[in-house]
Structure 1
Amino acid sequence: MAKAKATSGRQGAPPQPGEDVESLIDLDDPRLQTEAAQKLMAAARELFVKQGFSATSVSDITERAGMSVGSLYYHYGSKTNLYQAIYMLYQRTQERRARETVAAVRAAGVTNGLRLFLAGTRAYLLGAWEHRDVVRLAADGDTPPGFGLYMRRINQEWMRKNTTLLRESTNLLGQDDALSVRAVVAIVTDAMGGICREVANCATREEAEELVARAIDVFARLADVPPGRP
């Protein structure tokens, strides 16, 4: 996912009508690396999960964090931006997990692009269990205005990166079968949200792992990848 850029001089103020919320947050901003910012994020995450985005007020968050309202606006700019930051951090963690898994599988000698793709997909789905509270939070529909557009951007970027991964790897569905590669990536990308929700709703990690294994098996058959762990 492309790193969101902070608008100069604006992160400390509430967003104005019509502004792109995503442009106001930069996860690498020094203000978001402080203990205060981390406390605010932890408090917001807990409250959003417990009572929803709409029912959680700025004062609820700052009271839980033991901080002032002004501190939240200084660090995040708004409750909406704080929600966005929580999800962006989750997505960054997921992407790093998938990327590191693909690198490890590639280092082990796997060159088939579809196997690499499935390995990264498996890692991403297992990460949904580790961060199931955030997955449920995004899935319940009680999200900030414009969040659906942001999610579509994430999906588009995921599809672009994985299509590139497949096309640059050897032993694909066929060197000239670019449309099949695009079709597989599109189908898996569209399915990811629903499968992540199902993984997050599993009662145990064992159940989540089995569900992920079944999903990868389905994807492998769809992509005509020979049996075996990707």
Structure 2
Amino acid sequence: MTHDTQQPAAQETPAADRPQARRALLDAALEVFTERGYNDASLAEIAARSGIDVGSLFQHYGGKKGLYLELWEDFREEQERRTARMLAEARSRGVEDPITLFVEGARAYLEGAWENRRIGRRLVEEDGPAGFDTLRRQWDRAWVRRNARLLEVDERRRAGRVRVIVLTTIIGGAARELGDCADEAEAQEVMDEVCGILFHLWSTSLAGTDTAV
């Protein structure tokens, strides 16, 4: 006498969770957000371009806002990884000077902004989901704190905090400017100029501190 044993059915990975489908979905979302703006973007159009049905898309991302925030998280995390790699490489070469490390990190960040200029340009537009400006400001404050630690500045002191905010703001502004560069040569020229400005401002601010009475 034999008994049939029923094997449990394999769980199928939802389309929106598969790496290739996820990438196609985010690429389609970026295209539509870039062409239409966030408010006028259609979830149906994003789904059609990605090849993923609207129901699955909505289930996993909750709509346009979820897709927009996913794009932001991907961009932010990649920028942080890129900068961390550059700093690790610089330290492995024996670089210890805080401003030299800071500028190397700034260049890595700007290179990432140039390579990902489509999404970087989209994310600085005012046309975004409700609450995104608050999220972006929170990340900017965290960025300033990381830079303060890198520069060995006590951000609890107003002068030190302002110094780091100014340098960080310059990098952010330059990242936006890179979105309008015509080619890589022009982008590299902007990066070189910004790195020179960062060195100059830091040395000038330290000189002012040393001579203050």
TM over 0.5, yes or no? yes
Richer in helix (by share): 2
2:35 alignment partner AA: K
Give the structure 1 partner of residue 165 of structure 2.
186
- Check conservation: 1:53, 1:142, Cα contact below 8 A: yes
Choose from 51, 59, 62 the match for 1:77.
Answer: 62
CA contact (8 A) 1:32 1:38 kept: no
Partner-residue secondary structure (3-state), 2:95: coil
Who is 2:9 aligned against? none
In the alignment, the residues of structure 2 paired with residue 56 and residue 47 of structure 1 have an alpha-carbon distance, to the nearest angstrom, of 6
What are the Cα deviations for residues 196-230 of structure 1, in whole angstroms up to 9, with x where unaligned? 110111001110111111011111111018xxxxx
> 1:149 Cα shift?
0.7
Percentage identity across aligned positions?
35
**Matched letter for residue 44 of structure 1:** A
Q: 2:203 aligns to what?
A: 224
Q: Distance in 2 between matches of 1:165 and 1:77?
A: 37
Residue matched to 2:97: 112
Q: Secondary structure at the match of 1:185?
A: helix
Q: Tell me the residue number matched to 1:206.
A: 185
Are 2:146 and 1:161 aligned? Answer: yes
Q: Structure 1, residues 45-92: CA drift from partner, whole Å, max 9, x if none?
A: 111112211111111111111221111112211211101101110111
1:129–1:208 CA contact under 8 A, matched in 2: yes
**Structure-2 separation of matches of 1:110 and 1:32:** 41
Asked if the contact 2:171–2:194 (Cα under 8 Å) also holds between the matched residues in 1, the reply is no
Shift of 1:193: 2.6
CA RMSD of aligned residues (A): 2.1
Q: Distance in 2 between matches of 1:86 and 1:61?
A: 13
* Contact 2:147–2:168, Cα closer than 8 Å, also in 1: no
Aligned to 1:36: 21
Task: Give the TM-score normalised by the residue count of structure 1.
Answer: 0.76
1:9-88 maps to which residues of 2 (within 5 A)? 32=17, 34-88=19-73
Q: How many residues align?
A: 188
Supply the distance in 1 between the matched residues of 2:150 and 2:123 (Cα, whole angstroms): 27
Structure showing greater Rg: 2
Residue 83 of structure 2 aligns to a residue whose secondary structure is: helix
**Structure 2 spans left out of the alignment, 5+ residues:** 1-15, 205-213
- Could you tell me which runs of 5 or more consecutive residues in structure 1 were left unpaired when the two chains were aligned: 1-30, 226-230
The AA in structure 1 aligned to 2:141 is Q
Equivalent residue, structure 1, for 2:10 = none
Per the alignment, residue 130 of structure 1 pairs with 115
Choose between structure 1 and 2 for higher RCO, CA contacts under 8 A separated by at least 6 residues.
Answer: 1
TM-score, normalised to structure 2, is: 0.81
